[in-house]
Amino acid sequence: MDPLTPVSFETTLTTIKANNVKPSGPIPLDPINLGEQNKLPEDLVHTWKDVSENATKVIHQRQPCNESCETGANWGDAGVICFAPHSHAINSMAFSPHQCNLITVSNDGFARSMDLEKAVFDESCETVHCMMTHPIRSVHVHPEQKHYFVVAEGSFVNIYDLRNLKRTKCQSISELHGHALSVSSAFFSPLTGNRVVTTCRDNRIRIFDTSKMDGLSPMLNSVERNIQKGWRLSAVWDPKHQECFVFGNPGKTPRIEVYHESGRILHSLQNKEHLTTVCSIAAFHPSRNILLGGNSSGKLHIFTD
């Protein structure tokens, strides 16, 4: 299956109530849409190891949900298996360097690792839940100093040192102040990690200086944009450049904008015929001058020079 092909299906998923809190520790990797079978297909682990060609992550609804779905030719409903490792919305999913692990981060305060070889959803870090008392929106690791990671939790953005995490109480090494409402995301800049860009529902994108993580990271610039209620928009860096980031602007004329860290717009990409809704997800190609944007309708827009 082509990973970029939109997938639509009907299924009889078990209803998971928001107050059905998942316990800490490992959770069995039991599919919730296979009825009495409730067993993993024998070929799933082998397919997962070649995930770029045979499987893809699917969001069952347009809005974030507490389910993670995987697709394969002969699995579940229309080739889809669904799991429910969280009790609240999953905000982010990413593959770890180990091909068999999918990391999920949720509003329930847990970060879990889907390990097919062990057949469990493990806690990625057993201190995540006690460390953060607000919903986790994003977690991003420093590109050079891998023991540092930045967390968007509620209206707070903090940087932690993995070496200093405690089971009952964890102190951040740096704080990024100034956010009035919930923060959608926070990302270190590529190459050096000397900057962090945050996207907040108070209608501002902020850039912070994180070259010295020693208490309070100063804000360098902010950009005002109409980040509408309900949108989970995120400004993300260009992996090829230290100082440029992209953002899907949901204005009257939807467009994708490329910014310099100073707040200056470098490019404004729009197409009134095809780009008619906001691209809530945008990303640069890691090595070529290609920019992609995706929207909730399942359309992918590609811009190149």
Q: Tokens at residue 113, please? A: 């690792």
Report how far residue 75's alpha carbon sits from residue 66's, in angstroms, rounded to the nearest whole number. Answer: 20
What's the pLDDT score for residue 209? Answer: 96
Residue 33 structural domain: 1-124
User: Is 247 within a domain?
Assistant: no
Whether residue 105 contacts residue 134, with contact meaning beta carbons closer than 8 Å, is answered with: no
180 located within any domain: no
Residue 7 contacts residue 80 (beta carbons within 8 Å): yes
What pLDDT was estimated at residue 192?
A: 93
Determine, yes or no, domain membership for 81: yes
Residue 117 within any structural domain of the chain: yes
Low-confidence ranges of the chain (pLDDT < 70): 1-20, 34-79, 91, 94-100, 124-134, 166-169, 228-231
56 in a structural domain: yes
As a whole number of angstroms, the distance between CA 153 and CA 137 comes to 6
Cβ atoms 130, 144 nearer than 8 A:
no
Whether 55 is in a domain gets the answer: yes
Give CA–CA dist 145/287, Å, rounded: 22
CA triplet 248, 254, 255: central angle to 5 degrees?
A: 55
How many domains is the chain built from?
1
Q: Is residue 225 part of a domain?
A: no
Helix H or strand E encompassing 113: strand 111-115
Residue 77: the pLDDT is: 54
Pairing mode, strands 204-209 and 136-141: unpaired
**88-121: pLDDT as tens digits:** 777 677 666 555 577 787 777 777 888 777 788 8
66 assigned to some structural domain: yes
What per-residue confidence (pLDDT) applies to 54? 40
Per-residue pLDDT tens for 111-160? Answer: 788 877 778 888 765 444 445 566 778 888 899 998 898 988 888 999 98
